[in-house]
Amino acid sequence: MPQPKDSSLHSFVGIYKSSNNAAEFVNNFEQYLIFCLPSYVWIGLMFLLILWGLVHIIVGTINLPFCPSRPMIPIFLIIMGCLYILWGLLRIYAFWPRSRVDTLSVDLTCKALEGIIIIAMLVSLFLGKL
């Protein structure tokens, strides 16, 4: 297992003490998790997220004709299921081990698309529709 560059990132307390603000704490915590868990564990978790999205789509599709009082609930489930699947596929691509040296543009693109998907999820959650 590769070790973090900063020796203070070996424990949660070290991560908290070495961070000056919340953004730096989140970044340090993300680095800590990436170093602790191998990529295949993250890929497995993202497959579970994709399965969760498929369950949303199936439940929403089955209940679409049976929900006349609140017809947007099944549509919400279908939309959220699609967004979960897209998010899971994007994260699998981001966690997939790459041998290329320059992956900054790929990482930035993945982070930007992930941000757009999260914003779409929040908009769908608060407004009830896209």
Mean pLDDT of the chain: 82
Per residue in 82-91, pLDDT tens? 999 999 998 8
95 shares a domain with 58? yes
66 shares a domain with 48? yes
Domain ranges, residue 120? 39-127
66 shares a domain with 30? no
51 shares a domain with 11? no
Give me the phi and psi of 17, to 5 degrees please: -70, -30
59 shares a domain with 29? no
Give me the phi and psi of 84, to 5 degrees please: -60, -40
Q: Which DSSP state fits 7?
A: G
Could you tell me if 110 and 76 are in contact, meaning their C-beta atoms sit under 8 angstroms apart? no
Q: Is the pTM of this model over 0.75?
A: no
pLDDT of residue 105 exceeding 70:
yes
103 shares a domain with 45? yes
77 shares a domain with 65? yes
